[in-house]
Structures are given as C-alpha cells and as structure tokens.
Structure 1
Amino acid sequence: MTISLQYCNITVNDTDEALGFYRDALGFEVRNDVASEGFHWITLGSPAQPGLELVLSVPHAGRSQADGDTLQELLVKGVLPQLVFRTDDLDATFEKVRASGAEVMQEPIDQPWGPRDCAFRDPSGNLVRIAQAPKA
C-alpha cells in the first residue's frame, strides 16, 4: 500500500494577488480555477511534483460565515500553519522571490539541524519557508 499527499489548502485574502507569489515568484502552474457562489478555488501544481497540488481560496469560500470569520482572524494574525517548500538552488530561488517584492522574513542561512533555508510572507501574511537539503 502507498499513500501520498494529493493537495494542500492555502487560505489567502485575495486569490488573484496570491497568484503573483505562488505562480510568478515560486513557479507553480495553474491547473484549475473553479468558481462557485462568488468564490473561486485556484489549483496550482509543480512540474517537479506532478501529483502534488496547492489550492488557494479565501477564508469564506465554502465555509459558514462564522468559520470564515474565524479563519480570517487567524490569517490576519499570521498564525496559520507555515508552508515549507524544497528547492535545489536556494540562493537563486531566494533572489527570484525577493525580486517579486515578497516580504523577506529570513535570508538564507544554514540551520543547525541540517538544511539551508529562508523565509517569506506571502501577500496574505502566510509564512513560507524554502529549504535546500544539506550538501553531503
């Protein structure tokens, strides 16, 4: 038996604005855009990992008003779970994302537990870390 992650939901304030970060800065491709009741869910994928997708949506998309309000409060506080991506060239990825205007939280550093990584905030305030495996 095998099991793998199919997709991960990312809550954002504005899906179009988030595309500038996830598509243009990080290099994900739009795979689907589904609209319903005034909301839409944008599915992105990576050419490097064809089976894994990210789904961007706003806090109230498909949720009750109360749940959407709570999720919006958490998003504004910047306390939703962080996202961690992996790259084979951290320095080049860092420069590309920084050039997009994303807020830099941490420049590339070697972590004591092994990887070299950096961190950004996406346009909605989600913490996004990008790591490169340590050299053998």
Structure 2
Amino acid sequence: MIQNISLVTVYCLDQTATRDFYVRHLGFEPRVDATMGEFRWVTIAHPNQPELEVTLMVPGPPLAPEAAAFVRGQLEAGQMGGLGLRVDDCRKTSATLAAAGITVIQEPADRPYGTEAVIRDNTGNWLTLVEPKPFTQQDLAAF
C-alpha cells in the first residue's frame, strides 16, 4: 500500500548551484550527493518535511534526447514549474527573498485560497509561495 509521496523531481542546469540555492535561500538541507557511474544523484529536503526529498536532475537520460533538449530550453526560458512552498507570511517572505536578490515574478496577491507570490530559482523554475487560508469550492468558482 502507498504510504506517502517520498520523492519529487525538479530539473536544473547545474545540480551543485541549484542545491546551494535551495539550501542558502530557501532553508532546505542537503541529503544525498552520489555519483553512480556517469549519473549524479542529488537530493535536498526541507527540515519541516524530512520524509519528502527533492531530487535535482539535469535533463538527460532516462529522457529521450529530444525531451531533454525541450526541458533545457524551458529552463533557459524560465518556463518550468517547480514547487509550491507553504509560507507563514507571504508578503514578508517575498520581500526577504527579493532583498536577497531572488527574482520575484509575481508580487504577493490575495487569492481565494490565500496569499500567493511566485519567485524564480537560480535555474529558471518558478516556485509558488502560498500563505494558505481556508476556502471552499465556491470561493474558487467565484474567482
């Protein structure tokens, strides 16, 4: 029986730089950094959710060459989605990250489900910051 989600993938162009970005700016912890043949396995996790690791993958095998090229192009264009990150104060977190030089591509805005901002990581992934609030399906339909 499935117990939970334990691993998600974020594509990046430089595993070391992206790991360091998430650790330095977003509070993640490094977990695994291992080379297995020509493959490098790098994971990070947030200390508040240690059972969920994020693997930082460079576009390549097992993706087909065309798919890897597409993912690289999307990253370079800043068009890849990354993670949704729950925050306790979206406006303050967004301002703090902006002051640290992080690109904010959507300023904090009130939504039916909470306050949301979007930032970009060092490799082009957009990350959603959400300060959640209670909502109903009707709240979403009215938006």
Length-normalised TM-score, structure 2: 0.79
1:61, distance to aligned residue in structure 2 (A): 5.4
Looking at structure 2, the residues matched to 36 and 71 of structure 1 have their Cα atoms a distance apart, in angstroms, of 23
Say if 1:14 and 1:61 are closer, same or farther in 2 by CA, change over 3 A: farther
Q: Which has the larger radius of gyration?
A: 2
Partner of 1:69 in structure 2? Answer: 69
Partner of 1:130 in structure 2? Answer: 129
1:70, distance to aligned residue in structure 2 (A): 2.7
Please, which moves more after superposition, 51-60 or 37-46?
A: 37-46
Partner of 1:84 in structure 2? Answer: 84
Contact 1:25 1:96 in 2 (8 A): no
Q: Which ranges of structure 1 fall in alignment gaps of 5 or more residues?
A: none
Spell out the pairing of 1:6-45 with structure 2 (5 A cutoff).
Answer: 6-45=6-45
1:58, distance to aligned residue in structure 2 (A): 1.1
Number of residues of Structure 1 aligned to a counterpart in Structure 2? 135
SS of residue paired to 1:51: coil
Say if 1:45 and 1:82 are closer, same or farther in 2 by CA, change over 3 A: closer
Looking at structure 2, the residues matched to 89 and 61 of structure 1 have their Cα atoms a distance apart, in angstroms, of 39
- Aligned Cα root-mean-square deviation (Å): 2.3
Looking at structure 2, the residues matched to 96 and 14 of structure 1 have their Cα atoms a distance apart, in angstroms, of 24
Looking at structure 2, the residues matched to 96 and 40 of structure 1 have their Cα atoms a distance apart, in angstroms, of 32
Is the aligned partner of 1:120 residue 2:119?
A: yes
Partner of 2:106 in structure 1? Answer: 106
Contact 2:19 2:44 in 1 (8 A): no
Please, which moves more after superposition, 77-86 or 51-60?
A: 77-86
Contact 2:113 2:134 in 1 (8 A): no
1:116, distance to aligned residue in structure 2 (A): 0.5
1:37, distance to aligned residue in structure 2 (A): 4.2
Looking at structure 2, the residues matched to 5 and 22 of structure 1 have their Cα atoms a distance apart, in angstroms, of 20
Length-normalised TM-score, structure 1: 0.83
Q: Percent identity?
A: 29
Looking at structure 1, the residues matched to 100 and 50 of structure 2 have their Cα atoms a distance apart, in angstroms, of 24
